[in-house]
Amino acid sequence: MSESLNAATYAAAGVDIDAGDEAVELLKPHAERTSRPEVLGGVGGFAGLFALKLDRWKEPILASSTDGVGTKIAVAQALDKHDTVGVDLVAMVVDDLVVTGAEPLFLQDYIAVGKVNPKQIEALVSGVADGCVQAGCTLLGGETAEHPGLMGEQDYDLSATGIGVVEASAVLGPDRVRPGDVVVAMGSSGLHSNGYSLARHVLLEIARMPLEGHVEEFGRTLGEELLEPTRIYAKDCLALAAEAEVRTFAHVTGGGLAANLARVIPRGLTAQLDRGTWNPAPVFALIAQRGKVDRAEMEKTFNMGVGMVAVVGAEDVDRALAVLTARHVPAWVLGEVRASDGEEAPRAFLSGEHPRF
C-alpha cells in the first residue's frame, strides 16, 4: 500500500533527526579536545565510559553536582552569541564539586531546544568544551532534545551534571573549620551566572540600556559585560588545597556571599567579613543605582565581586595568597572565623563599607 502524500512525519511535527545527526558530527571534535586518559570509546554511544584509576586513591569518594545557566541565556539569545554560556555551565557545576575538595572528572550536558540549529548547538558545546578544558575534566557525553510546541524555535536551555572524586581523608567541609581560621576571597569575573533576572529587569527594562551600547564604566558594550564568562576556580582551588591548609571552600552563587559561606561554617562559629577589603566591579554599582536596589537585596542576589572563598588556617594565609596570585586569581583576606554561642546557627556577617561603591 502506497503512503499518502499527506502522511504525518516526525519532521513535519517539528523534530528534524537529520539536523540532530549533523549537530552530533559537529560536536565530536569539541568533545575530543576535552578527553582524559580514563575515557573509553567516543561520542555517540548510549552511555559514556570512564575508567576510574583506583590505584590513585586509597578510599575514593565520588562527588556529583547538577546545575544550569539560568536567564543569562536570554542575553546570549538576544545577541545571537552562544559560545560563552557553555563556559558558565561548566563553572556552575565544577566549582560546586571542588568545594568538597573533589577533582572534576567528567561532565554530561543536556541541551533542550525548540528547533535544532546545528551551528548554534556547535557554538554552545564549543563553550562547554572550553570550560571543561579550563576545569581539567572531560565532556563525556550529553543529550540534545528538540521540543517543538513546547519551546520557541530560537529558544534553548542548558544544564549539566558533573562527577568528581576526592580521597576520603581529604574531604573538605564545615567539620574542619576552627576559630581563628581566615577567610580568603577570590575575585569574580563579573556577575557570573546569578541574578540575571534582576540585572536584566533593571538594565534593560527600567534603564532601557541597549545591549549593543558602549558603557564608559565597563570600557565595552553592555552585552559584552553581561556575557563575560564565569571564572572557573576548580584547578586553582585544587592547587591551593595541595599547597596550604584549606579547611573548606564556598562557591558564591545564588543567595550571595554571606549565605553561601554560612553553608560551610559549623554551629557555634561565625565568619566576620569586611566590605572595606574590596571594591565591587562597576556593573554592581550600575545595577544598584539604576534600579534603586538596596544593599541587602544586592548582597543576597549577586556575588558582589567575590566568586569563591577559601577558609584556611591562619598560619597558611600568606602561602594561600601567594599560590592564588601566582595563578593570576585576584585574592585577598576577607575576614576571619570566630567563636559564637554554641547554640547559634552558623552565620557570616558583613560589616564596613565598600570603597567608592
Whether 96 is covered by a domain: the verdict is yes
* Per-residue model confidence (pLDDT) at position 340: 86
Q: Which domain holds residue 251?
A: 174-351
**331 touches 216 (CB < 8 A):** no
C-alpha 15/C-alpha 181 separation (Å) is 56
* pLDDT score, position 45: 73
Model confidence, pTM: 0.91
Cβ atoms of 89 and 132 within 8 Å: the answer is: no
Give the C-alpha separation, 172 to 295, whole Å.
31
Same-domain check for residues 105 and 133? yes
- Residues 193 and 70: their CA atoms lie apart, in Å, by 7
Alpha-carbon separation of residue 107 from 89, 100, 140, 160 (angstroms):
10, 17, 6, 7
Task: Clarify whether residues 134 and 264 are in a common domain.
Answer: no
At residue 84, the pLDDT reads: 97
118-135 vs 17-32: helix crossing angle, rounded to 10: 20
> What are 211's three cell numbers?
545591549
Per-residue confidence (pLDDT) for residue 62, from 0 to 100: 96
> Residue 232 in 3-state DSSP?
coil
Same domain, 239 and 327: yes
Cα-to-chain-centroid distance, residue 229? 9
No. of H helices and E strands in the chain?
11, 14
pLDDT at residue 38 in the model: 85
Q: What is the pLDDT of residue 356?
A: 79
Pick the closest to residue 94 from 228, 194, 254, 232 (CA basis): 232
- CA angle, 243 then 246 then 252, to 5°: 120
pLDDT, residue 56, reads: 85
Q: Is the residue at 284 inside a domain? A: yes
Residue ending a domain, among 117, 146, 170, is 170
Residue 133, in any domain of the structure: yes
Q: Judge whether 49 lies within some domain.
A: no
The answer to whether residues 131 and 251 belong to one domain is: no
Which domain CATH number covers 126?
Answer: 3.30.1330.10
Instruction: Mark which of 170, 193, 208 sits at the end of a domain.
Output: 170
pLDDT value at residue 124: 95
> Can you give the pLDDT at residue 7?
64
Mean pLDDT of each 10-residue bin along the chain, 357 residues long? 54 58 65 81 78 87 96 97 97 98 96 91 94 96 90 92 96 96 98 97 98 96 98 98 97 96 94 96 97 97 98 97 98 96 78 89
On whether both 235 and 96 belong to a single domain, the answer is no
Residues 78 and 204 in one domain: no
Judgement on whether residues 205 and 123 belong to the same structural domain of the protein: no
* 2 within domain boundaries: no
Q: Which three cell numbers stand for residue 246?
A: 584549606
Same domain, 124 and 164: yes
Domain count, the chain: 2
The residue among 246, 90, 98 whose CA lies nearest residue 164 is: 98
Q: What angle do CA 66, 269, 62 make, to 5 degrees?
A: 30
Distance CA 211, CA 324 (A): 33
Structure-block grid coordinates of residue 184: 580568603
Specify if 139 maps to a domain. Answer: yes
